[in-house]
Amino acid sequence: MKQMVSATDTAYGTLNVKVSGYDMTVVEHYSQYIHNLCNRLGIQVAESYALPTKSTEVMLMQEQGNKMYVDAVLKTHERVVQLSSLNTSLCPIFVDVLLKNQPEGVQLLVKEHTEADFQTRFKARPELEGLIAQINQ
């Protein structure tokens, strides 16, 4: 995996800007906007990727009866723009512009990149895990 940049005195290290929401076009357009803004401001963008879509089923109780029925299926889409280093002097302005341009229905999260974040991108491999468990037994 790409080297994670660590924080120095004047710049933050590898940061993940996560954009998530139910409406895929809005989420994708907002993440594209963030990427273009970083290019224009001279912030180095390490990667820009998507995380798997999560489906949430909304279940409601029936009026007469105890059974729950499926009311709606909501899909949460997530896009990540990874910045390799952000100058601290530029940080308040950058975050302010992002917040002021945030569309409705979209959540913005800025956090540091960790090893665990990197591992969530991979799919689980059940056969491999089964074999490893067998070896360990």
HSE-CB at 34 with a 13 A cutoff on CA atoms is 30
Q: Contact residues for another protein (CB under 8 A)?
A: 7, 9-10, 12, 15, 41, 88-93, 95-97, 99-104, 110-112
The bridge status of strand 15-21 relative to strand 106-112 is antiparallel
- Minimum CB separation from another protein for residue 116, in Å? 15
d(CA 3, CA 14): 9
- Minimum CB separation from another protein for residue 40, in Å? 8
Work out the number of other CB atoms within 10 angstroms of the CB of residue 17. 23
CB-nearer residue toward another protein: 38 or 77? 38
- Minimum CB separation from another protein for residue 95, in Å? 5
